[in-house]
Amino acid sequence: MSVHQLLIEDLILLDFEGETKPQVIEYLIDRLVEKKKLPHREQILHVIMEREELGSTGIGNGVALPHGRIDSIDDVFIVFGRTQNPIEFDALDGRPVTLIFLIVSPTQHNESYLRALSTISRLLKQERFRNTLLSAIRPGQIVEAFREEAAACLS
């Protein structure tokens, strides 16, 4: 499954307020748990924060990709959040983060997980694409941006 198929409007949060990395990660996890009715909030939070301790998932250019894998889910989930104000995320370039993609995957879906991480990080290296995400007014515009990029890659 491609990123534009995994990214749904219910899991896109635009211009929310957050002050710290843990607060933002918890906010995105809470949205995932609420909308997908997952009973694994603490387990997901533990896995994501444990991964952050290994090294920040702030990849630079105002982008972070917190991610983790757990046994107790069956699907790959992506939650996208755009913060109202940039937050410190210990990013590789030292700059604060505004665009955050939280990716949670079942342990057994390694290929889908790696494909999602790879596709998102590749697209977010493009300034034009980041600007599209920064200027979107509605969640549907985020989904459409990914759909258009997927179509462009196939043509």
pLDDT in tens, 77-131: 999 999 999 999 999 999 999 999 999 988 887 787 888 888 888 889 999 999 9
Q: How many domains does the chain have?
A: 1
pTM of the model: 0.91
pLDDT in tens, 32-58: 999 987 878 999 999 999 999 999 899
* Distance separating the N- and C-terminal Cα atoms of the chain: 18
Domain encompassing residue 146: 3-154
For residue 46, indicate whether it is catalytic.
Answer: no
The CATH code of the domain that includes 99 is 3.40.930.10
Q: Where are the alpha helices (DSSP H) in the chain?
A: 3-6, 21-36, 41-54, 110-123, 127-135, 139-154
- Catalytically annotated residue among 4, 46, 67, 109: 67
